[in-house]
């Protein structure tokens, strides 16, 4: 084997590994930039040495998100990708080639490159027919039911001047504030955190339960209409699409020449951090669609467009130490303490290492010089080690095998990457975090008590669990550092008031692993009392809608522990709510004489609840649509035949919100 062949095989192997880390594990170990540089090098070698062609080379595939649980649909126009550029010089070359080939002067449209999941929507007669993921570019998954839950996507277009049938493409994204809130909820429920908004958006699109997708509050931006007549500019066609109801980025700019494009890109390189959505670059498109046609496509991408990728900001600094933090659920997370270094406008002192596997993969040693990056992720992470600067006697970083806080041995559960300390009743950070969770705003909302006071109370051995909070006396509280009579009064009053906090929130506050706010609400509603919940078997629990094996198992385990039962008994004795108060049934005759059909899935109520509401207000719930139907109460994912029928007969469709207003 000659040196060239060896080089080619080596690069293929390396790139395949990186692909796997990126797409399957979501744990890339090199930057996109480094990956693209290696891919380019391989492309060049393969081009110059065609005798080594291999259809399975990483240069030959576009990646696929095909999932067998969804119906496969062929794209009418293949979903191509964009060629990437990393320097202003490459943009100048792109411009020079276009100007040489084009028959007339033209402008550019310069757009943000949204970092999400691409989607193709098909509209017929102004109605959304199908939503298909990119898949392998030729065919993708039909995710229509899920896409219909995205509020910013029009199901019915406005106006009348849209083509009878057309396709529009865009990017499904998860806004950054939604992503942060989702991760906070997962943290509260003791679930593994999502790594970045892009993977979360594409993962959400593939969920089997579209009601759950609706809760993910996804968003979408549109940027391309393949196959439409080239009578106009691209920018102008998007403005028209905006009038039909599509969300188009307000930051798209027409630029007369490439210098103006470059200036605009420089502006967004730093400005993008102020947006509520992740972007990984900009896209530069020839605006005239006539000239676009002249320039045409290669097999993989349009010649009239190019992506400019922002460099993920990177810095090199020294690893000072690794600490192991223990969370409320006992999960042990390694954190790298770094020599402070400035990166993307902030000073970075710490970086997450996620779990033991990552430490091994990086082959991290004491005092290593490490590269930190702030990519789509919020917390900086270590992407690589500069091995050339390692001291010869540096020792490898080992994951601890006993809890750094209480000394209990750590265990790893099947299928999980994290190590856990199981000594939940004796491990100080677990005890304190459980109390902090309990007093939190979304749980018992104890005014005046915060993490600092909990720390003091713990150190003075006044509290060891949440029930102890209700035994605190005024003199104990008032004697604490920086606490006075007034603060002590406030805390006691707030603890007293927490006796009226509804059962669902009390259940959430207990901090049972995997029982987040939503599942606590469902369980409180379905089970009614803590007694019933405590007596339920795993099989019974999983019959409750949206309660899976993992949550059920955790609940059963929680109630098997007599220490937990003891805490609940003490809280009960203090008067906390452990039953769902029967909702005062409000009745009226507001729907009297009306026959109402329910169709689809709803955000705030189950269908049974809506049925009950209709009856309480004097209406009648009927199952099929006829001339005598007063209105259809419609949610997401209504059946197409029902929609067709209401249109035919002219029955009005009322949303969940409108319905609630009607009976208010």
In terms of CB distance, is 291 or 305 closer to ligand IVH? Answer: 305
Q: Could you tell me how many residues make up the chain?
A: 664
Identify the H or E element spanning 533.
helix 530-535
Residues 545, 526: Cα–Cα separation, whole Å = 9
CA distances, 275 to each of 67, 279, 281, 477 (Å):
31, 9, 13, 44
Catalytic residue among 7, 113, 521, 642: 113
Pairing assessment for the beta strands 331-343 and 117-124 based on DSSP bridges: unpaired
Give the residue from 145, 84, 141, 151 showing the smallest Cα distance to 117: 141
- Residue 113 among the catalytic residues: yes
* Residue ranges of E strands in 438-550: none
Kind of pairing between the strands at 410-412 and 419-421: antiparallel
With respect to ligand IVH, which residue has the nearer C-beta, 46 or 115? 115
Q: Which is nearer to ligand IVH, 95 or 111 (CB)?
A: 111
Return the number of the residue (53 or 77) whose C-beta is nearest ligand IVH. Answer: 77
Backbone region of residue 552 per phi and psi (left: phi > 0; alpha: psi in -120 to 50; beta: other values): alpha
Question: Are 133 and 65 in contact, with CB atoms under 8 Å apart?
Answer: yes
- Using Cβ positions, the residue closest to ligand IVH within the complex turns out to be 118
The distance of closest approach from Cβ of residue 108 to ligand IVH in the complex, given in angstroms and rounded to an integer, is 13
CB of 286 to ligand IVH, least distance (A): 11
- Least spacing, CB of residue 115 vs ligand IVH, in Å: 7
Cβ distance to ligand IVH smaller for residue 58 or 600: 58
Residue 39 beta carbon to ligand IVH: minimum distance, rounded to whole angstroms? 13
Q: Which is nearer to ligand IVH, 111 or 424 (CB)?
A: 111
Q: Which residues bind ligand IVH (CB under 6 A)?
A: 80-82, 111, 113-114, 118, 171, 223-224, 283, 302, 305, 307
CB of 216 to ligand IVH, least distance (A): 19
223: region left, alpha or beta (phi > 0 left; psi from -120 to 50 alpha): alpha
Q: List the one residue out of 301, 286, 166 whose CA is nearest residue 229.
A: 166
> CB-wise, 146 or 252, nearer to ligand IVH?
252
Least Cβ distance, residue 279 to ligand IVH (angstroms): 8
Q: What minimum distance in Å lies between the beta carbon of 146 and ligand IVH?
A: 17
Q: What angle do CA 274, 275, 276 make, to 5 degrees?
A: 125
Task: Report d(CA 638, CA 529) in Å as an integer.
Answer: 34
Burial (CB count within 10 angstroms: exposed 0-12, middle 13-18, buried 19+), residue 392 = exposed
Residues 6+ apart with CB under 8 A from 183: 193, 194
List, in order, residues 6 or more apart from 614 with CB less than 8 Å away.
591, 596, 598, 620, 621, 633
**Catalytic amino acids?**
113
């Amino acid at each position: 084997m000659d040196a060239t062949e060896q080089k080619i095989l080596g690069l293929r192997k390396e790139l395949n590994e990186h692909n796997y880390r990126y797409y399957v594990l979501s744990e890339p170990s090199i930057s996109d930039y480094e990956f693209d540089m290696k891919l380019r090098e391989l492309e060049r070698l393969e081009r110059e040495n065609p005798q080594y062609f291999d259809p399975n080379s990483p240069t030959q595939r576009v990646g696929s998100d095909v999932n067998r649980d969804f119906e496969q649909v062929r794209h009418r126009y293949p979903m191509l990708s964009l060629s990437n550029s990393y320097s202003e010089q490459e943009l100048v070359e792109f411009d020079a080639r276009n100007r040489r080939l084009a028959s007339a002067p033209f402008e550019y449209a310069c757009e943000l490159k949204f970092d999400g999941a691409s989607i193709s929507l098909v509209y017929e007669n102004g109605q959304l027919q199908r939503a298909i993921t990119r898949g392998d570019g030729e065919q993708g998954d039909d995710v229509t039911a899920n896409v219909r839950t995205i509020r910013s996507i029009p199901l019915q277009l406005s106006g009348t001047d849209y083509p009878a049938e057309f396709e529009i493409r865009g990017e499904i994204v998860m806004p950054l504030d939604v992503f942060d809130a989702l991760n906070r909820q997962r943290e509260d429920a003791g679930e593994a955190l999502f790594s970045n908004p892009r993977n979360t958006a594409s993962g959400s699109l593939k969920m089997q339960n579209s009601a759950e997708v609706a809760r993910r509050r996804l968003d979408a931006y549109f940027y391309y209409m393949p196959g439409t007549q080239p009578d106009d500019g691209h920018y102008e066609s998007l403005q028209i699409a905006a009038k039909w109801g599509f969300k188009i980025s307000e930051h798209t700019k027409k630029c007369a020449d490439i210098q103006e494009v470059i200036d605009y890109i420089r502006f967004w390189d730093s400005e993008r951090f102020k947006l509520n959505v992740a972007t990984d670059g900009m896209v530069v498109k020839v605006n005239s669609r006539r000239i676009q046609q002249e320039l045409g496509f290669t097999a993989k991408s349009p010649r009239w467009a190019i992506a400019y990728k922002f460099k993920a900001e990177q810095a090199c600094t020294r690893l000072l130490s690794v600490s192991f933090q223990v969370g409320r659920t006992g999960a042990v997370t390694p954190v790298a303490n770094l020599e402070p270094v400035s990166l993307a406008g902030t000073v970075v002192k710490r970086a997450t290492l996620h779990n033991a596997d990552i430490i091994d993969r990086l082959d991290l040693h004491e005092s290593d010089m490490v590269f930190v990056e702030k990519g789509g992720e919020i917390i900086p992470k270590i992407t690589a080690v500069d091995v050339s600067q390692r001291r010869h006697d540096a020792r490898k970083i080992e994951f601890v095998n006993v809890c750094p806080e209480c000394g209990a041995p750590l265990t790893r559960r099947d299928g999980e990457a994290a190590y856990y300390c199981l000594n939940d009743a004796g491990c100080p950070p677990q005890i304190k975090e459980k109390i902090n969770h309990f007093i939190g705003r979304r749980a018992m909302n104890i005014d005046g008590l915060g993490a600092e006071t909990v720390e003091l109370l713990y150190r003075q051995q006044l509290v060891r669990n949440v029930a102890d909070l209700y035994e605190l006396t005024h003199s104990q509280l008032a004697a604490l550092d920086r606490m006075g009579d007034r603060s002590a009064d406030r805390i006691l009053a707030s603890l007293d008031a927490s006796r009226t906090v509804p059962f669902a929130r009390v259940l959430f506050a207990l901090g049972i692993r995997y029982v987040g706010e939503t599942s606590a609400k469902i369980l409180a509603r379905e089970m009614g009392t803590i007694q019933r919940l405590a007596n339920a078997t795993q099989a019974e629990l999983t019959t409750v809608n949206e309660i899976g094996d993992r949550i059920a198992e955790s609940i059963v385990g929680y109630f098997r522990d007599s220490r937990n039962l003891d805490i609940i008994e003490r809280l009960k004795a203090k008067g906390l709510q452990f039953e769902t108060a029967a909702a005062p049934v409000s009745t009226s005759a507001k729907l009297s004489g009306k026959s109402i059909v329910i169709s689809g899935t709803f955000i705030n109520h189950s269908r049974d609840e809506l049925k009950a509401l209709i009856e309480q207000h004097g209406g009648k719930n009927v199952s099929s649509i006829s001339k005598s139907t007063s209105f259809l109460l419609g949610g997401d994912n209504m059946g197409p035949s029902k929609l067709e029928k209401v249109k035919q007969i002219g029955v009005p469709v009322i949303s969940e919100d409108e319905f609630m207003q009607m009976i208010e």
